[in-house]
């Protein structure tokens, strides 16, 4: 058994402990934010479902609107009418840009959101926990607010998919509520490390970074699906059988462009009663028709009949699997792109897990074992959590003092014995890239929630 390293006590350390202790005692309780990722992903365009309190509370938003974050709350980027959704009961189910220029060998992380019933299958990767990134779908579900979050895979993919990586997990890349501008501006108003027991929470139903031309908000080339019970489904489907697995397209929604079918369910190899609830379109030839060499990556809603027939699908929680349909003649190639377990979801311990939105983020650097560098860079983190318990409290004070005054001793003591593995750079509370006196003030601010 390893014993705690006996490092030299100093008046400076004692003074710092006393100062931090007194300042912390003045606080009613910490309500600090976690920190945005060190390399934040671009803000997405997204929608909330019909049951989301932000939609139900008549905030001028509907479940058919495409939203964008405005400071710390969502605003309408594209009203549902622009996509041909004429009823307030229409509900966007998936959203994508055309992604015409993605190369077959380019590597990327999958980004996804989950529904309210998702529990996640595993805690965050130990390497990420040690670096102050303890948040995963499992963690956020335990805390009561996973449905309006965005998570990233911890393994890399290409358009061909890849064999299961070494991590097979996920990490929080965007929080439901204000986390330094990296959020969906959703309900409940909780930070990543806080627990919500109030019940109602928004659910991200669709997300992607749509294509802009000219002015900042001029959106073009929108691909989307809507729920099977949306009143506008039959009219939008035209002569195609109405299906929640039909994918629609609007080239110019902001100037009255017409919505048309990009691919109906049969062209994707799916059943009419299937429902696509997450979507990434790769319209490689930009002709707005699903034909060779186009590819669509998607997930299906629970109850979709094809969940039990697609090759490679999980036997449990297939609604958290990601599938791919590649256009071909005479029929598309339909297969499982990533099983739920590869994303830290599903399995016997989480049979109700369900992916509800999809996107991707490029990651060009080769992965050092076991995690690609971009996973840490894109993840929301918790500076000041110097005991790596996933929270900020007075329990972190003595660990902060050691990390600040004696990084070597801290590293020796926090390598798993006697304390959990934890990185001393979590004391870099002002995020300057090194430890300096400014980190003390920043740590106190985090403790008192200012």
Residue 86 pLDDT > 90: yes
Left (φ > 0), alpha (ψ -120 to 50) or beta: where does 416 sit? Answer: left
In a domain, 233, yes or no: yes
In the block, which residue shows the tokens 């380019």? 106
Q: What is residue 20's three-state secondary structure?
A: helix
**Same domain for 424 and 372:** no
What tens digit of pLDDT does each residue of 271-280 get?
999 999 999 9
Domains identified in the chain, total number = 2
Establish whether the linkage from the previous residue to 202 is cis, with ω within 30° of 0: no
**Same domain for 413 and 331:** no
Instruction: Tell me the pairing of strands 333-338 and 322-326.
Output: antiparallel
Which pLDDT does position 26 carry in this prediction?
42
Instruction: Tell me the pairing of strands 204-208 and 211-212.
Output: unpaired
In a domain, 3, yes or no: no
- Give φ, ψ of 362 to 5 degrees: -65, 145
**Same domain for 230 and 327:** yes
Q: How many CB atoms lie within 10 A of CB 254?
A: 17
In a domain, 99, yes or no: yes
**Same domain for 57 and 23:** no
Q: Is 249 exposed, middle or buried (0-12, 13-18, 19+ CB in 10 A)?
A: buried
Q: Give the containing element (helix H, strand E) for 448.
A: helix 438-448
**Same domain for 434 and 309:** no
**Same domain for 303 and 158:** yes
In a domain, 285, yes or no: yes
What tens digit of pLDDT does each residue of 114-165 get?
999 999 999 999 889 888 899 999 999 999 999 999 999 999 999 987 666 7
Residue (of 282, 137, 125) closest to 204 by Cα position: 137
| pTM beyond 0.85 | yes
In a domain, 5, yes or no: no
**Same domain for 253 and 178:** yes
In the block, which residue shows the tokens 């294509």? 211
Which pLDDT does position 33 carry in this prediction?
66
**Same domain for 320 and 180:** yes
In a domain, 184, yes or no: yes
**Same domain for 419 and 286:** no
Strand partners, 110: 360
In a domain, 216, yes or no: yes
Residue 38 pLDDT > 70: yes
Q: What is residue 25's three-state secondary structure?
A: helix
In a domain, 68, yes or no: yes
Q: What is residue 96's three-state secondary structure?
A: strand
Q: Compute the average pLDDT of residues 77-100.
A: 97
**Same domain for 98 and 130:** yes
Q: Give the containing element (helix H, strand E) for 378.
A: helix 373-378
pLDDT band for 366, please (50, 70, 90 cuts).
low
**Same domain for 398 and 345:** no
Range(s) of the domain holding residue 412: 11-34+392-448
**Same domain for 161 and 18:** no
Q: Quick check: 169 and 122 in contact, CB under 8 A?
A: yes
Q: Compute the average pLDDT of residues 328-332.
A: 91
Look at residues 321, 344, 378 and tell me which one is the last residue of a structural domain.
Answer: 378
What tens digit of pLDDT does each residue of 165-212 get?
778 999 999 999 887 667 999 999 888 888 998 879 999 999 999 999
Strand partners, 300: 276
């Amino acid at each position: 058994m390893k014993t705690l390293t006996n490092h030299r006590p100093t008046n400076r350390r004692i003074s710092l402990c006393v100062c931090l202790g007194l300042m912390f005692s003045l606080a009613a309780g910490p309500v600090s934010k976690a920190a945005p990722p060190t390399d934040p992903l671009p803000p997405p365009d997204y929608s909330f479902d019909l049951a989301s309190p932000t939609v139900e509370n008549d905030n001028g938003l509907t479940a058919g609107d495409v939203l964008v974050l405005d400071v710390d709350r969502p605003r309408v980027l594209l009203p549902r009418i622009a996509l041909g959704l004429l009823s307030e009961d229409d509900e966007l189910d998936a959203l994508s840009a055309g992604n015409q220029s993605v190369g077959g060998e380019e590597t990327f992380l999958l980004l996804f959101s989950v529904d309210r019933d998702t529990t996640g299958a595993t805690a965050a990767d130990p390497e990420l926990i040690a670096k102050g990134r303890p948040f995963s779908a499992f963690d956020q579900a335990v805390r009561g607010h996973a449905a309006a979050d965005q998570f990233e895979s911890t393994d890399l993919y290409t358009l061909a998919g890849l064999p299961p990586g070494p991590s097979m997990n996920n990490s929080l890349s965007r929080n439901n509520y204000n986390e330094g501008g990296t959020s969906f501006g959703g309900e409940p108003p909780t930070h990543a490390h806080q627990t919500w027991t109030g019940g109602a929470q928004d659910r991200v139903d669709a997300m992607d970074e749509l294509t802009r031309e000219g002015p900042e908000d001029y959106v073009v080339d929108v691909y989307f699906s809507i729920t099977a019970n949306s009143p506008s489904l039959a009219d939008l489907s035209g002569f195609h059988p109405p299906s929640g697995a039909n994918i629609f397209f609007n080239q110019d929604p902001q100037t009255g462009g017409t919505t048309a079918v990009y691919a109906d369910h049969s062209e994707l190899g799916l059943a009419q009663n299937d429902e696509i609830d997450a979507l990434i379109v790769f319209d490689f030839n930009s002709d707005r028709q699903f034909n060779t060499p186009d590819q669509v990556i998607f997930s299906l809603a629970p109850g979709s009949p094809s969940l039990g027939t697609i090759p490679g699908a999980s036997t449990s929680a297939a609604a958290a699997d990601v599938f791919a349909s590649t256009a071909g003649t005479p029929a598309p190639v339909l297969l499982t792109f990533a099983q739920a377990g590869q994303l830290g979801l599903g399995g016997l311990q989480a049979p109700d897990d369900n992916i509800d939105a999809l996107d991707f983020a490029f990651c060009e650097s080769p992965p050092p074992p076991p995690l690609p560098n971009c996973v840490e860079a894109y993840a929301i983190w918790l500076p000041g959590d110097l005991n790596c318990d996933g929270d900020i409290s007075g329990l972190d004070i003595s660990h902060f003092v050691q990390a600040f005054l004696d990084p070597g001793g801290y590293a020796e003591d926090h390598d798993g014995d006697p304390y959990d593995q934890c990185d001393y750079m979590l004391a870099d509370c002002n995020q300057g890239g090194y430890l300096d006196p400014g980190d003390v003030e920043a740590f106190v601010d985090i403790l008192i929630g200012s």
